[in-house]
């Protein structure tokens, strides 16, 4: 066994994991899905199609910029569809694709977890803050 310095070993480990990262698209896609607005938009569309301004009103706190940005990337990823009706004024409907529907099931499960376990989390926070005063 040849002697390797710690620096060499660290560099080797880094190279291995960088390669792993490049070859494994899961992390990238998971990072994409792990977005605040993505989960909210998908959850909002789960019951049925919605218009742009309805989404903006339903998802409290989203800016038009982020709403448009999120909708565009979700459309590009084939998770939602965008339908323009050239009436006056223009009407744009967004809906989940079959792919998006399969994802929505999981994300609403996470949402449901957040709902049922929020009290546990809040209790944990209070305990933590009591034990670790600022």
Partner DNA sequence: GAGAGCTACTATCCATTGGTAAGTAATTAC
Partner DNA sequence: GTAATTACTTACCAATGGATAGTAGCTCTC
Hey, which residues between 10 and 39 contact DNA (CB under 7 A)? 35-37
Instruction: Report whether 42 contacts 33 (CB < 8 A).
Output: no
Which one of DNA, a copy of itself, none interacts with residue 102, CB within 5 to 8 A by kind? a copy of itself
* Cα–Cα distance measured from residue 52 to residue 68, given in angstroms and rounded to the nearest whole number: 8
Cis peptide before 128 (omega within 30 of 0): no
Selected from 12, 13, 21, 91, the binder of DNA by CB under 7 A is 91
Does 13 sit near a copy of itself (CB under 8 A)?
Answer: yes
Residue 43: which of 114, 119, 91 has the closest Cα?
114
Yes or no: say if 71 and 49 are a contact pair by the CB < 8 Å rule: no
- Among residue numbers 55 through 84, which ones bind a copy of itself (CB under 8 A)? 57-58, 60-61, 75-79
Report the nearest approach of a copy of itself to the CB of residue 53 (Å): 10
The DSSP bridge partners found for residue 132 are none
Which position among 5, 26, 85, 87 is part of the footprint of a copy of itself (CB under 8 A)?
A: 26
Task: Please give the helix or strand (H or E) that residue 84 lies within, else none.
Answer: strand 80-85
**Under rule CB under 8 A, residue 51 binds a copy of itself:** no
Sites of contact with DNA (CB under 7 A): 5-7, 9, 35-37, 51-54, 61-66, 68-69, 71, 82, 88-92
């Amino acid at each position: 066994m040849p002697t390797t310095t710690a620096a060499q070993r660290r560099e080797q480990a880094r190279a291995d994991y960088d390669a792993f990262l490049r070859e494994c698209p899961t992390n990238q896609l998971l990072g994409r899905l792990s977005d605040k607005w993505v989960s909210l938009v998908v959850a909002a569309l789960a019951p049925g199609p919605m218009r742009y301004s309805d989404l903006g009103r339903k998802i409290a706190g989203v800016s038009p910029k982020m709403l448009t940005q999120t909708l565009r990337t979700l459309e590009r990823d084939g998770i939602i569809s965008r339908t323009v009706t050239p009436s006056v004024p223009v009407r744009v409907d967004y809906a989940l694709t079959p792919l998006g529907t399969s994802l929505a099931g999981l994300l609403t499960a996470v949402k449901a977890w957040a709902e049922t376990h929020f009290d546990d989390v809040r209790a944990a926070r209070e305990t933590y803050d009591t034990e670790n005063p600022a």
